[in-house]
Structure 1
């Protein structure tokens, strides 16, 4: 406690220390303005980071856009360094070539442990390998077909479409972001755990777990933005402020997840064989039946399935409304594919797929991700990496790099992902995952990538075939990109739904 007290006193004295340092280094000529933050002894670029806290994504993007190698070293308190990069060669080096040297590490692990525990997104080594191996069985073609044809289609036709139909008739305003989160939450629980939380009932029931999950996600991510980990650790020790709220939220989340685990255990004990094997059943039958460990797995997969696809779709419907020419192309594709079976329809929606990729280029569900360097290294662009350096690759900034996407990088342009054959038919032209690391890359590339695309395309086809989604906002409104563990649209996404009649 004595060391913690000294640290707190030092942090309190930072503003005064800053004034002393800056006064002792008066320049003889006025400094030229620069996007690159100044670094001072002991405090590093603390004040630049602090002053750009509310627009951190945009600030870092401008720094990386201005850097010749799209890489910059940010100096934090007490000599800690963070290397930020939007350089595809560096990203490949970190995520693949030198994968073993760049891990989650103790900093990220301790920051997220209360929420994610030993789940797949918060561990390295053998535990990560085991969880990934067991999980991979859930993403074969048979499982994907079942997911689209039964889980997603049922949720779409029995819950989402009737809700939109009622809203269109009553001319009511819906928060599309919340609706999509509920939709995705129901889906991930059904496919991964064989459990239906029924969050998307017409009454939009108050879901204590969903609210607690949102709080736990947001409050956990706030830990990364504190000036030093000692600040949130002191609050946690005394159980005050944001840490008290996080403690309450995590308790509610874990209590809910444990109930799912216990019910599945009982189901497995009561039946000699199950009609279908879900992800949770696979883990419980793999010899790892420790309740806390399996609970961590449940929470991690809810985070992956609920927040990422709903975030991508929220921004997608905003961009499509802003670009009617894109919406018309999507509608044309939906009409052309309407006679196909559901699974084949969504797999073959090339233009819609390109539109979703373009949306996530500009608004990635996970806008930045960090690893810790286990040993000294040198990146392909010559950047020197010291052991213990935090390495952050930046999908949000990478989607805004002229060197990667050209001078029209700011335009929403699905055609950049497409080319026409001699018959005039579109074909998809992907980018390598190190240029477009929206789903990570290398050994930790997202297992659910194809499942996410299938779900999103099915929602797009099911909704736009019948309805026009119109933002219920004032002219000139520009939504704000909000970053927690995943991205959000600040304040939700209010929309009105207009019936357009069946396309087919």
Structure 2
């Protein structure tokens, strides 16, 4: 069963109207810190979806996890297959990502979603995943790699990001920081892997086809 955006919007509107007439509280109450930091109510049929939508782009989601002992079970609408368990508990993350990784194999659906990464560590399981993990750890922990990474990042920071921000600050121009830091990360990573700086982070803000392709993927 799939639920479209229109159905979700209608359900959410009905929820707000129903809640308003039931409690006589203003709609502004839904945006108060007290409400957003409380666990979403598990409504009949709709589950926790209405409250989850309100908290989707709100930092109070972390307060909910803290109040629920770092683990939170989200109940979606009935028959929608949206139930999930959210955890930020370090012991659980270690259990899933390291000590008992073999118990959490990636399904064919997962591999199809991330097929652009090929047979990388993101998509693999069992022995192949272990071998790739050991290889990546060996590279990342190598002092030469760490020195190179630090050198490239510092160089990009001093010669790219700081002059860029200073220029637009002097001009009083508004810039999209998400785009800026994406370009910074792209240039630093590309230079680390290939030895060549594409210089996408520049005053001209050139369009980079490779970045577009990554966004599409």
What TM-score do the two structures reach when normalised by structure 1? 0.31
Count the aligned residue pairs.
Answer: 185
Equivalent-residue separation in structure 2 for 1:69 and 1:136 (angstroms): 28
- The answer for the alignment partner of 1:111 in structure 2 is 113
Equivalent-residue separation in structure 1 for 2:61 and 2:169 (angstroms): 41
**Structure 1's 176 and 104: CA in aligned 2 closer, same or farther, altered over 3 A?**
same
Aligned partner of 1:101 among 100, 103, 107:
103
- The answer for the alignment partner of 1:37 in structure 2 is 42
What is the CA distance between 1:198 and its match in structure 2? 1.9
**Structure 1's 166 and 122: CA in aligned 2 closer, same or farther, altered over 3 A?**
same
Q: Does residue 1:180 correspond to 2:181, yes or no?
A: yes
**Structure 1's 184 and 64: CA in aligned 2 closer, same or farther, altered over 3 A?**
closer
Equivalent-residue separation in structure 1 for 2:75 and 2:203 (angstroms): 48
- The answer for the alignment partner of 2:148 in structure 1 is 146
What TM-score do the two structures reach when normalised by structure 2? 0.63
Secondary structure at 1:120 match in 2: coil
Equivalent-residue separation in structure 2 for 1:53 and 1:117 (angstroms): 33
Structure 1: unaligned runs, 5 residues or longer: 1-6, 20-29, 217-504
Equivalent-residue separation in structure 2 for 1:133 and 1:97 (angstroms): 14
Equivalent-residue separation in structure 2 for 1:60 and 1:54 (angstroms): 10
Equivalent-residue separation in structure 1 for 2:101 and 2:123 (angstroms): 16
What is the CA distance between 1:51 and its match in structure 2? 6.6
Higher normalized contact order (CA 8 Å, seq sep 6+, divided by chain length): 1
**Structure 1's 36 and 70: CA in aligned 2 closer, same or farther, altered over 3 A?**
farther
Superposition RMSD on alpha carbons, in Å?
A: 3.7
Q: Which protein has the bigger strand share?
A: 1
- The answer for the alignment partner of 1:70 in structure 2 is 71
**Structure 1's 71 and 205: CA in aligned 2 closer, same or farther, altered over 3 A?**
closer
Structure 2: unaligned runs, 5 residues or longer: 12-21, 24-37
Tell me, yes or no, if the aligned pair for 1:64 and 1:72 is still in contact at 8 Å: no
Equivalent-residue separation in structure 2 for 1:190 and 1:162 (angstroms): 19
- The answer for the alignment partner of 1:196 in structure 2 is 197
